[in-house]
Structure 1
């Protein structure tokens, strides 16, 4: 496991695995639902190597990792032994937080595939526009099939994730979704309807078939979002009800049998039409607001988009955009956010070029690359937000970028990728129109303006301050080597008290010179009369045990000479004990010598050297306080 140590530290500082109700992840964050957030060591997590920051939002405890979050997530799940999340917390959560949690829980698992298929569909549109392929070619058809597969069968995929979120059977959820896109039902809408409901209104609905005499409003559910999410929620409740009353011996097939017989007709007769009508009204309402002033709407959405991301509120707009794409075949809302990632990236590039701080540069490089591809959390949390001014500049510039898309009437036509991979999403079915060029202008202006404003306005580099800040947040106690010789792992020591870490974490040395020096400034708190073992308490509180050889206590001090006494104040490098290596080995004793921190549990970490051999006074162990 590549991130085993980081995973262990995260689990420890969120209050242990017993404090976790559920765990998911998105593009950059581990999203925990904790039983008690007060048990989490938030400040420790924030300043941990490998963690960008910690956000508490939407009822979730979000540990921001970066682009490699899937790998960290896998290690956290493996080490924590987390199963399918079972939420048992009795904590009251607001309706708004429940909404955000539900949206993220349903969409997060398929976000990667959603972006991937959207990118393929977008590039296919680009290739078609450039004249590289034709609509009649096999290449176009296959690429379109890949790009369309998830979005066309969206109810099937969302049936799985929504049922998982609502604690229902995943495959029942998929069956509900599959019934909504069953092709034969679409064929029933050909010809004259039996009659029309709500004729003459925005909700006008022709009725072609009935179910047990009840009118069924057949709608196009491919690419839809709201109907299947609601159906999965109701279906999970119905399923759990049947589980309570159906005998165990026939539960395996009768529960799905009864559930599907109830929920699928209910979805077609009630849930689907109501949800679809609500979707139409929502899309119409969103566009009505946008229609009042596309420029102001673009400025507002673009300017505050990064703030929405910080608090996880951007999930509230995602289903609106997807709904618009399903109902209207386009969406202008998310189009206004295009400039945000490029404004952030331009600001980061300016900081990268201006800073003299090596640590800040090392953060800027991957944050810049991520930003180009639309993932801005590393830039926000690691660079711009902590320095305030860069973040404010990026928001102002993003607002200008949003205003440009509003002015140009820019729309997204497919749910595509992020950053530069989002560009094909702005190509309309008619080709590269004014809206597409508005997207390009927004990208260029946002990036260039973000870079120039940040470069000219400048920021306080705080090179020395950053070093001091690290010293304050992460205090260290460095132990030099008390012995000279070959470095060994504690697990190689043939004594379980040491090899299994019962006495604390540390390292072992096979000495090549018969001397022991003090590894720190401190007090010689323990010195065995035999001279084979000693304990030192450093001035910073580390309790260090040095044990010379294995079972050498049986020598009763023979071949050992002490050069200090118990209670003495000692300095790093001061000679404490001498011993005769040849004589001890000749007596049949192993001289592998553990050096351990006996109060390990009081520290954030104990970091051992990775050297194979070591000399006196070279750094051996670093204790992170």
Structure 2
């Protein structure tokens, strides 16, 4: 039994069990589940579980943030849940942007470790040449360059495999498609050379499609030659198309001969269409996208670096950085350099420096103990333990780290620092900025690290105050303030865990109760303000004059009634007095429509209170006390 077996068992149980898991992948710090029903997962239990940093939901994935030991936990989860690498996913849910992020992350995450290692080999090779330990013409350089460059040169093969897994194409077919894109004689430059050998050097291409030259034909169709070695995006689109072709032929070809006939037709159809149509169009679009980023950086490198450095850690939290990373990889592999991610480089060091400053100021011994390992992992580019476990919960330290990242990004872009390889994480990332025997970019990156770290550390050390002690003093005082909340509805009171909506039942939205109403009227439970009134009038949010935030949700899934049977007597922003009628609703109409009439009532800012107490009565009228919030 492995070291993380018990943790893995608890995680599987609290994501809804193995039957609720469609698929599982992982990155450097996160288990990335695709769940059949995310509401079955117990967010609160997972977030408070020893060994788990936090839980995130992004890009159609349920992400359990573990830390640096995620590969070991992943293996245990796979074993316990009976998963395999070949297990198919259901179609991604969410909007188009969520699905795009899910696809990109699913294609790139599996080989990030290998990519980082290869980038470090290339950076080390460049550093040793700079130190004049050998020359760029030596056999040592040639071998190390080949080792480091192979993953970049054969990127279509790597992505052919990972994209095939993502789109449910047979992985070996994906590898063959990727290899075909790297075949020497069908590269655009090779086609041009072959044409000019017979037509003469500099001869104009006989065909022109999409504004691109075509030097040959395939069964009479002009064939636009593009160079696909080191390319990133075309293979993903071709694999997506090939997966659809495979799906069609699996339905019509007898199972006994599917093993070889399905791949035969997939290759025969998908690759020619890929070379003739998909590849040229996608290459043209990615060139335009790359040109757009280049134009933006040319317009104001300083502004670009400032913005990217400031928001980079926010993008990472929500997985949105995957919309930028592939472009940087594409530029490095095809053009030899990129500045797309340069402005983000210093952000992780600002985050790490903030944690160091917090270490000196924290009074919570348990939280303080988390700082040293978070600092160590942060130096090597893994900042999730610092973000989720330390800075983000305290809010201002996280903002200070964003400011530090922004200043570092500004410095890097002002000094035109450029990356010549990809992969090095954290402190090893400085190797990305060495260009042959020119190490000025690496030196500038060290300066940017220092600037970002000093800004983040300084802001936190001098301006952030840990209020833990003051909060404990308040708790120890014998006079505890409270606010009574009267019932906004007449009816029968139930425990919140009996709510038919899991989002309320598991306490994710705050503590409170459920009322089964006997009257179709909601009144103000205190003097305060209407903060939110849904257009369908089935839910409203209030805040009392003392700061208690209350959500009243009339019925379960009643949003589907689109306001029918509901009448509001207030609007958003209105001041209300205790007992004032807010909304009336057709109780019998909701029942006849097949919806539950349960009314969850929760204090959404529960974390601001010592406790939310239920009065304990089984039946309440609108003048009776329902909840007590202890301040």
Q: Which runs of 5+ in 1 are unaligned?
A: 470-625
Name 2:193's counterpart in structure 1: 190
CA positional deviation for 1:208: 2.8
Give the TM-score, by structure 2 length.
0.71
Name 1:222's counterpart in structure 2: 229
Q: Which runs of 5+ in 2 are unaligned?
A: 476-631
Whether 1:126 and 2:112 are equivalent positions in the alignment is no
Larger Rg: 1
Name 1:169's counterpart in structure 2: 170
CA distance in 2 between partners of 1:277 and 1:362 (Å): 52
Q: Indicate if the aligned counterparts of 1:21 and 1:85 stay in contact, CA closer than 8 A.
A: no
Name 1:563's counterpart in structure 2: none
CA distance in 2 between partners of 1:128 and 1:45 (Å): 49
CA positional deviation for 1:330: 1.7
Q: Indicate if the aligned counterparts of 1:279 and 1:327 stay in contact, CA closer than 8 A.
A: no
- Deviation string, structure 1 residues 68-104 (Cα, Å, up to 9, x no partner): 0000000011011112465565784210110111011
Whether 1:439 and 2:445 are equivalent positions in the alignment is yes
CA distance in 1 between partners of 2:88 and 2:20 (Å): 11
1:357 to 1:280, Cα distance in 2 relative to 1, 3 A: same
1:92 to 1:158, Cα distance in 2 relative to 1, 3 A: closer
CA positional deviation for 1:362: 1.9
Question: Which structure 2 residues correspond to residues 200-279 of structure 1 after superposition, within 5 A?
Answer: 204-279=211-286
Name 2:111's counterpart in structure 1: 110
3-state SS of 2:205 partner: strand
- Deviation string, structure 1 residues 575-609 (Cα, Å, up to 9, x no partner): xxxxxxxxxxxxxxxxxxxxxxxxxxxxxxxxxxx
CA distance in 1 between partners of 2:29 and 2:49 (Å): 16
1:364 to 1:467, Cα distance in 2 relative to 1, 3 A: farther
Name 1:448's counterpart in structure 2: 454
CA distance in 2 between partners of 1:467 and 1:233 (Å): 60
CA distance in 1 between partners of 2:428 and 2:417 (Å): 16
Name 1:377's counterpart in structure 2: 384
3-state SS of 1:106 partner: helix
CA distance in 2 between partners of 1:91 and 1:407 (Å): 40
3-state SS of 1:190 partner: helix
User: Relative to structure 2, which stretch is displaced further, 447-456 or 262-271?
Assistant: 447-456
1:41 to 1:132, Cα distance in 2 relative to 1, 3 A: same
3-state SS of 1:62 partner: strand
Whether 1:420 and 2:427 are equivalent positions in the alignment is yes
Whether 1:334 and 2:341 are equivalent positions in the alignment is yes
Pick aligned residue for 1:285 from 286, 292, 295: 292
1:360 to 1:464, Cα distance in 2 relative to 1, 3 A: farther
Question: Which structure 2 residues correspond to residues 493-512 of structure 1 after superposition, within 5 A?
Answer: none
Name 1:319's counterpart in structure 2: 326
Name 1:98's counterpart in structure 2: 99
1:243 to 1:466, Cα distance in 2 relative to 1, 3 A: farther
Name 2:583's counterpart in structure 1: none
Q: Indicate if the aligned counterparts of 1:428 and 1:436 stay in contact, CA closer than 8 A.
A: no
Name 2:357's counterpart in structure 1: 350
CA distance in 2 between partners of 1:321 and 1:267 (Å): 23
Q: Indicate if the aligned counterparts of 1:121 and 1:416 stay in contact, CA closer than 8 A.
A: no
CA distance in 1 between partners of 2:92 and 2:373 (Å): 38
1:341 to 1:276, Cα distance in 2 relative to 1, 3 A: same
Give the TM-score, by structure 1 length.
0.71
CA distance in 1 between partners of 2:102 and 2:474 (Å): 38
CA distance in 2 between partners of 1:401 and 1:351 (Å): 20
3-state SS of 1:216 partner: strand
1:464 to 1:86, Cα distance in 2 relative to 1, 3 A: farther
1:259 to 1:311, Cα distance in 2 relative to 1, 3 A: same
CA distance in 2 between partners of 1:357 and 1:371 (Å): 21
Name 1:459's counterpart in structure 2: 465
Pick aligned residue for 2:411 from 380, 386, 404: 404
Count how many residue pairs are aligned between Structure 1 and Structure 2: 466
3-state SS of 2:339 partner: coil
CA distance in 1 between partners of 2:433 and 2:207 (Å): 35
Name 2:69's counterpart in structure 1: 68
Name 2:373's counterpart in structure 1: 366
- Deviation string, structure 1 residues 307-333 (Cα, Å, up to 9, x no partner): 001111111111121122234322112
